[in-house]
Amino acid sequence: MTTLSIILVLALLLVVFGLLFRLQILTSIFSGSSNREVGVSNRVNAILCLVFLVVGGAWFAWSFVENFDKMNPPIASVHGLATDKMFWGSMSILGVAFVLTQVLLFWYSYKYQHKDNRRAFFFPHNNKIEIIWTLIPAIVMAALVFAGWKEWSRITGPAPKDAVVLEIMGKQFNWLVRYPGRDQKLGMVNYRLIDATNEFGFDLSDQNGIDDFTAGEIHIPKGHPVLLRIRSRDVLHAVYMPHFRVQMYAVPGMPTKFWFTPTKTTDEMRAQTGNPAFNYELACNQICGRGHFAMKMNIIVDEPDDYVAWFAKQESFSSQNPEVLASFKQKSNKLVEKAPVAPGAAAVVTPTAAKASL
Amino acid sequence: MAANFPTQEQVQGGIGATEPGHDHAHHDEHHEQGFLSKYVFSTDHKVIAKQFLISGIFWAIIGGTLSSLFRLQLGWPESTLEWLTPLLGKWIEAGKLNPEFYLALVTMHGTIMVFFVLTAGLSGTFSNFLIPLQIGARDMASGFMNMLSYWFFFVSSVIMFASLFLETGPAAAGWTIYPPLSALPQAIPGSGAGQTLWLVSLALFIVSQLLGGVNYITTVINLRTQGMSMSKLPLTIWAFFLTAVLGLLSFPVLFSAALLLIFDRSFGTSFFLSDIYIAGQALPNTGGSPILFQHLFWFLGHPEVYIVILPAMGMVSEILATNARKPIFGYRAMIGSLLGISLLSFVVWAHHMFVTGMNPFLGSVFMFLTLIIAVPSAVKTFNWLATIWRGNIRFTTAMLFSIGFVSLFIAGGLTGIVLGNAALDIQLHNTYFVVAHFHLVMGSSAFFGLWAGVYHWFPKMFGRMMDEKLGYLHFWLTFIGVYLVFLPMHYVGIAGFPRRYYAWTGFDTFSQFADLNKFISVAAIVAFLGQFIFIFNFFYSIWRGRRATENPWNSNTLEWTTPVIPGHGNWPGDIPAVHRWPYDYSKPGAEQDFIPQNVPYSQTQSSNLPYEKEME
């Protein structure tokens, strides 16, 4: 019943608008305004251009200031501070260009509105002006591109040798994380070995993988370079850590990497933001299916000592899943001779071993 | 009006020698055509243009509706959408939008808007309509191929439309259909039958584009009327010509990408697939590269944004000059920048891929090339500003939309400079900053170009005028609406909100803009509803609008020398010859503030410039 009456009201409204529209056309024909080439509307539109410039500009300025804090979440990486500076630097230059051109556009529209007694200025070209306004943007672009290129080269350059290494693997729809154990070497993996237990596809016939451990959240030490080794086991994902200004695709069949240096621990950030529940978050930023919007993992930045302590407490995958290890042992007797790693042994990772990675 | 100018007949009398054979054939064509051959399987470029336009409007309504649906989800993620069940059926689950269908909505919105509205609806309409009329040709080089172009597009449309109603839903891997997501139905149901239809539809669409493009290029090169040298072409034609060249060179690459993807999906090849474990199973594919697909896709995908924007640029140049009653400033620089943009558009594609794991050195190269393309774009903007400077502006609806185009092109173009900077793209890639950027610079701008074109050439298309008052209302509502939607969207993007998210509520990092997202949704839906003013105005005016005169805007280009409703063959008599460039507006010494292209210098001695004296 309500739907019906709503439809009825809407239909009546449409009829009323239709009649008004027809009426307006008829009156304009009778008043003769439809025959004038340039009428009152021209003046109204010219004024509206100016109003749009002023009111629109004021609204833009107000909303920008109002939202400025919200659009600047805190940054916690070395390169992030640099790129953020560059971002706002570029935006300022572009902002000047934006304001200047918009003001000219709408001011000219207003100022040079049709007047019966005026004739437009015949001004087809001027090479000097053209050259000037080709060169100015070219020079500005050159400056921006050079600054960007320098920063980009630094960010994508090789990671420092002493970087803490960990591997992030994307899958529908969560992240898996793997650390090299005390040997600081990630073991081999093979996607054909993946099953419900061996989610990474550990190939434990590789010695380097015996002490590798997986984790439910990412721990990284403050102030040390961290190298993320990134891969995916099904579709594309993207490792996106907005607070660290980190983003890199996770590509099945093509491991990628990204390194950065965190500058603030989670606790420091909690104090700074006044939010005791604050957490660095890892999000997926490449469409990957139904759960794309929920692929979250927390990142904890520890003081280096805390990180070492956390690292020492982790148990290796092989020790937690002896049956997986056993299945590899059966396959190769050599392995048994070479790797007398008893369950639990990986748990006694010495703090010094972890420190070696720092 | 044209008291001192020779009448059409006098002008044509002087050039009776053009194409006598063709004319003869033309005069024989006055028999009545049947309804089918006149309106449906027509080979007349003007009818085909209208077919493209009306199909484009249909698609725009669908595309806009889809965006309203997902804006409802983004603005009010917690509330129930039960009331949409009559429309969406099983995609509403317990009052919630199905997340996979949400992805299908954004995918189809992008596909429809980019290809079906802004490529076919914009370039298809106006290239077809204006090329023969403005260069002085009877029709396209091949009317039959032109008809095929539309009907391939039509079949492609039918297939894409049908895919919306599949049980597994339409394609849902994003309009960029990156594999492996788009290759594996196990990954998302939309990658089943929906993706198959998408690929088939796009393949047919590309055939349509190529048939059209070959025709546009041939027509511009071969069928220009006497005196119409390349340096006397209106900028619209330059833009359509270069658009067709871009399409011809880049669409085949998308075709090959689509074909290889079809092979991967259906015939077990591994062009784009490698090392995949999905749905409890390790797939046998190895050695493929998903990144290869992205290279192929963006090799079309980037020129594509220029395919969308160049026609709008051309039409805006023409409309600004006409209504400011001033020559376009820097005609040659405008052509030069069109050429520069066209050339550079082929060597910037990988700026969409800075963080895909592509070699960072390549990233540097593409960053340099990308920022170079900003220079010709800036030159165009300055030239438009200089064109209205000291003009005598008439605010027709088309003029307002052209001014709006320049405003939006600046607003969206500038942020491209930030995104083209690889170091800054690390953070901004795939965030709402990108969404805001391209919706302004290629979405809204191109739409504004489209509207400007429709309002400006409507009198020549249908012999009637659109209602100006409704046009003004449409313009201001849309212009304000677009800014209200996309300016705040930058804020959301700077804060790092990822695109294609069904909801952000799971992340603390993305929790701060719930109100702003609501605001954007309201603005988007209101602006979308405002488009029905245009649709009413358009269809009402076709049958009931005020009758137009031959040249209602006092414009210089050749299409305005045709009768109010040009028949098959465009000019009833001989095709007029061309003597001058199309921008002789407000020439000092001239009687009137415009001199059409077909007026010889001998008749305008009072206004001829020194170097024009010898051409008298």
DSSP class of residue A169 equals E
**Nearest residue of chain B to residue A48 (CA atoms):** B476
Please identify every stretch of chain A with a pLDDT value under 50, giving residue numbers as ranges: 335-336, 338-351
pLDDT recorded at residue A341: 47
pLDDT (tens digit per residue) in B577-599: 999 999 999 999 888 899 999 99
Whether B178 and A287 lie within 8 Å, measured CB to CB: yes
* Residue pair A109/B385 in contact by the 8 Å Cβ criterion: no
Query: What is the 3-state secondary structure of A244-280?
Result: HCEEEEEEECECEEEEECECCCHHHHHHHHCCCCCCE
* A199, closest residue in chain B (CA to CA): B277
What is the C-alpha to C-alpha distance for residues B278 and B564, in angstroms, rounded to an integer? Answer: 63
Contact indicator for A263, A78 with CB cutoff of 8 Å: yes
pLDDT at position B13 is 37
Phi, psi of B506 (to 5 degrees): -75, -15
Residue carrying structure tokens 């007694």: A117
Contact between chains at A191 and B277 (C-beta distance less than 8 A): yes
Interface check B609 vs A, CB under 8 A: no
At B48 the pLDDT is 95
C-alpha B343: how far from chain center: 19
Q: Which residues of chain B have pLDDT under 50?
A: 1-29
Domain covering B36-613, topology: Cytochrome C Oxidase; Chain A (1.20.210)
Domain spans of chain B?
Answer: 36-613
Touching check for A17 and chain B: CB below 8 Å? no
One-letter identity of residue A236: L
How high is the pLDDT of residue B17? 38
Segment B424-443, tens digit of pLDDT:
999 999 999 999 999 999 99
Q: Note whether A254 contacts B289, CB cutoff 8 Å.
A: yes
The pair of structure tokens assigned to A324 is 């997986």
A34, A293, A295, best to mutate vs chain B, most B CBs in 10 Å: A293
Assembly ipTM = 0.91
Q: Judged by CB atoms within 8 Å, which residues 68-97 of A form the interface with B? A: 70-73, 80, 83, 86-87, 90-91, 94, 97
Specify the pLDDT at position A32: 66
**Domains of chain A: which residue ranges?**
164-356
Nearest to B181 among A124, A288, A293 (CB): A288
Q: How many CB pairs under 8 A join A and B?
A: 346
Token couple for B390: 């000291």
The reported pLDDT for the residue numbered A35 is 59
Q: Which of A19, A65, A83, A101 to mutate to test the interface with B (most CBs of B within 10 A)?
A: A101
B290–A254 C-beta distance less than 8 A: yes
Q: Which two tokens stand for residue A215?
A: 């984790």
Omega before residue A173 within 30° of 0, cis: yes
Q: How far apart (Å, rounded) are the C-alpha atoms in residues A155 and A148?
A: 10
DSSP code at position A224: S
Quote the pLDDT of residue B180.
94
Q: By the CB < 8 Å criterion, does B288 face chain A? A: yes
Please give the helix or strand (H or E) that residue B260 lies within, else none. Answer: helix B235-266
Contact state of B430 with A286 under an 8 Å Cβ cutoff: yes
Assign a CATH topology to domain A164-356.
Immunoglobulin-like (2.60.40)
Nearest to A203 by CA among A350, A71, A327: A327
Q: Would you state the pLDDT for residue A2?
A: 75
Q: Which of residues 301-330 of B touch A (CB under 8 A)?
A: 324-330
Q: Give me the DSSP letters along B33-67.
A: PPHIIIIIS---HHHHHHHHHHHHHHHHHHHHHHH
Output the average pLDDT for chain A: 89
Q: CA A203 to CA B218: how far, in whole Å?
A: 61
Q: How far is CA B615 from CA A142, B601, B604, in A?
A: 44, 6, 11
Token pair listed for B445 = 């701008």
Q: Which positions 44-63 of A are in contact with B (Cβ < 8 Å)?
A: 44-46, 48-49, 52, 56, 60, 63
Q: How far apart are CA B488 and CA B71, in angstroms?
A: 14
Confidence (pLDDT) at B19: 42
Give backbone dihedrals phi and psi of B359, rounded to 5 degrees, phi first: -50, 125
pLDDT, tens digit, 9 for 90 and up, residues B251-274: 999 999 999 999 999 999 999 999
Q: What pLDDT, on the 0 to 100 scale, is given for residue B20?
A: 40
CB atoms A64 and B491 under 8 Å? yes
